[in-house]
Amino acid sequence: MFTTTYQHFFFATGHAEGATPLNAFDGALLASGIGNTNLIKISSILPPNCQIISPPPAIEPGKLIPVAYGTIFSDIPGERIAAGVAVAIPDNPSLPGVIMEYSSRGHKEEIETIVRGMAEEAFRVRKFPLKEIVSQAVDYVSKGSGAVFAGVVLWE
């Protein structure tokens, strides 16, 4: 059973080429700064009182880290792919926030607009007062085997 209460989060984004889709994904993780960790994919709830931080300069290799993320791969040379994540932060810090992720073909600005809209909608459905939305996105033009990754990492 997990009992850790996460009090922080940070963004991790990256892109890479690889010999295979998995190698490209691995390279995108390395570029994002979390490539030597074990990802625990989470759904989309940010714990109450969670604060944004800068990514730690070094993360213990093999560490289990919870992350909500979007990723996409392309094997079409010249195709632009993008992934983005957005965090809706409540006005009341005792309420949870919401993380949304999205990936598709296109420019990072388009993807970021979409994912921010998703976060806004999640708060509207919950009827939570919104303080702000923070987001990041990444795009990349595939040379033949490219991947992008955008994630929100929960941190102790």
**pLDDT tens for residues 120-132?**
999 999 999 999 9
pTM for the model stands at 0.94
Task: Give the per-residue pLDDT at 58.
Answer: 87
Q: Which range marks the domain in which residue 36 is found?
A: 8-155
pLDDT at 84 over 50: yes
- Indicate whether 131 belongs to any domain: yes
Q: What strand order describes the sheet that includes 45-46?
A: 45-46, 97-105, 80-90, 130-141
Mean pLDDT of 73-94: 97
Which one-letter amino acid corresponds to residue 125?
Answer: V
Q: 81 by DSSP, 3-state: which?
A: strand
| Catalytic hit among 17, 23, 32, 38 | 38
- Is residue 43 among the annotated active site residues? yes
pLDDT at 1 over 50: no
Indicate the length of the chain as a whole number: 156
| Catalytic hit among 32, 44, 74, 145 | 44
Mark out the alpha helices in the chain (DSSP H runs). 21-32, 108-126
Which one-letter amino acid corresponds to residue 5?
Answer: T
- Indicate whether 18 belongs to any domain: yes
Q: Where are the beta strands (DSSP E) in 5-145?
A: 8-17, 38-41, 45-46, 51-52, 64-74, 80-90, 97-105, 130-141
- Indicate whether 1 belongs to any domain: no
Task: Give the per-residue pLDDT at 146.
Answer: 98
Q: How far apart are CA 104 and CA 107, in angstroms?
A: 9
pLDDT at 153 over 50: yes
Query: Domains in the chain: how many in total?
Result: 1
pLDDT at 3 over 80: no
| Catalytic hit among 32, 101, 103, 112 | 101
- Indicate whether 97 belongs to any domain: yes
- Is residue 38 among the annotated active site residues? yes
- Indicate whether 147 belongs to any domain: yes
Q: Over the stretch 24-58, which tens digit does the pLDDT of each residue have?
A: 999 999 999 999 999 999 999 999 999 999 999 88
Q: How far apart are CA 135 and CA 23, in angstroms?
A: 26
- Selection from 39, 152, 35, 150 nearest residue 104 by Cα: 150
* Domain CATH for 34: 3.50.20.10
- Indicate whether 92 belongs to any domain: yes
- Indicate whether 2 belongs to any domain: no
- Indicate whether 3 belongs to any domain: no
More confident residue, 95 or 5: 95
